[in-house]
Amino acid sequence: MQKKLIAVAVAGIVSGTAFAQSNVTVYGRLDYGYDARKGADGKLAATQDKTKGEVRDGIRGGSRIGFKGSEDLGNGTKAIFELEYGVATDQPANINTATPNVPGTSAFWVNRHSYIGLTGNWGTFVGGRLDGIRYNLMLAAEQLGGGVGNFTSMTGQYDRVDNAFAYISPNFNGFTFTYAHSFNTSGTEGSVLAKNNMGGGNKGDDVLNSFMLKYANGPVVLWADYETTTQKGFKNGDLKTYVLAGTYDFGMVKIGGLYDSLKIDACGNLVNVSATCNLAGTAYDRRNWAISAVVPYGKWAFKALYGQVNNKIGVDTDAKKYGFAIDYDLSKRTKLYADWGKVDNDKNAAFGIQASPNSNAYYGNKGIDFGIAHNF
């Protein structure tokens, strides 16, 4: 099973404490546009050297509908919940099937995240299918917000994990701390080896532990995130990753930066090892970094990004990513956007342009997109 390279937390959960007793809020997003990708570079397959264009849903962020609310339990404590489902504006919906993202047969009403928990002066505790802090942290620091120019897709992201709980501390002079744990990051516990007819009970479960410290004060936001994932019952293949990131808003320009390290000492015992490691039995060691800038101008926002993937295993396997984006706010809730992105691979690297930040599918080494998004 592919290692999940994320930490788990619940960005935005604390906002649930502001809800009135027994209040339920309906919210969502619709995002629709066009993208085109092409080109071959480095070790990208020659078949990628063709233009692919498509109108599609969720270029800057997946379309969704959600329900959130709380109940006042007294003494400053509230029960909170949230259910968020991904929807598609351009494909048939069939909520009775279990295979996602296959047009005509898939479930386009899928659980993005869901949780139930308690919040109070002591902090917030929730359990369920939870958003990944590493994924959202990197998107916040790179600032492009999705599209073909994003850098987050270069780093092997998974945006959510299953079977999880998280604790988020109160705010202490700008600092908040999050601890999160997943008993198996994808699928039910005990399902990893069972689906390969290998039995083993909980053997093979991908267990995650995550620690994140955030500081936010005025124009500055800083993050430090450390996580480990361990495949239960196996000696090798533990993953260790950390992210250091931040943004600073000068008013006329907002600067962002991130540094990301992912290491696996040995991969020989992992299930489906090739999904995470270069070759069975080899180590995995990548250092990723990016810088970004956003310049607001009235209803416009101009964004730029440069990032690198430095692979410590292999020769000539590094890559660079360039990204540009333009936003135009039609209102507080509706915007037009356009993005451009380009990957420069070393001769043995094979990075491409992903359709979205949490996608493993790529096509070509350069692309453009444009679309419209509305939040409600």
How does pLDDT run across 76-93, given as a tens digit for each residue? 999 999 999 998 888 765
DSSP state of 27: E
Query: What is the rounded CA–CA span in Å between residue 72 and residue 242?
Result: 37
Distances (CA, A) of 276 to 4, 18, 87, 111: 9, 41, 29, 25
Backbone angles phi, psi at 194, to 5 degrees: -60, -40
Distances (CA, A) of 13 to 70, 127, 343: 11, 12, 35
| Domain at 13-375: CATH architecture | Beta Barrel (2.40)
Residue (of 24, 10, 197, 219) closest to 117 by Cα position: 10
Write down the pLDDT at residue 362.
77
Res 6 pLDDT > 70 = no
Q: DSSP string spanning 190-254?
A: T-TTGGGT---TTTT-EEEEEEEEEEEETTEEEEEEEEEEEETT-SS--EEEEEEEEEEE-SS-E
Res 277 pLDDT > 70 = no
Res 71 pLDDT > 90 = yes
Q: DSSP string spanning 42-80?
A: TT--GGGSS-EEEEEE-SSS--EEEEEEEEEEETTEEEE
Q: Mean pLDDT score of the chain, rounded to an integer?
A: 84
Once rounded to an integer, what is the mean pLDDT over residues 220-225? Answer: 98
Res 308 pLDDT > 60 = yes
Once rounded to an integer, what is the mean pLDDT over residues 133-139? Answer: 92
- How much is the CA Rg of the chain, to the nearest whole Å? 21
Give, rounded to a whole angstrom, the gap between the first and last alpha carbons of the chain: 37
pLDDT band at 339 (very low <50, low <70, confident <90, very high): very high
Higher per-residue pLDDT: 265 or 164: 164
Write down the pLDDT at residue 271.
45
Q: Of the ranges 27-41, 71-85, 145-159, 229-243, which one carries the lowest mean pLDDT score?
A: 229-243
pLDDT band at 12 (very low <50, low <70, confident <90, very high): very low
Once rounded to an integer, what is the mean pLDDT over residues 358-364? Answer: 75
Write down the pLDDT at residue 375.
97
Res 36 pLDDT > 50 = yes
pLDDT tens digits, residue range 189-219?
A: 887 776 555 666 788 888 999 999 999 999 9
Query: What is the rounded CA–CA span in Å between residue 160 and residue 100?
Result: 15
Q: Can you tell me which residue has the tokens 């949490």?
A: 358
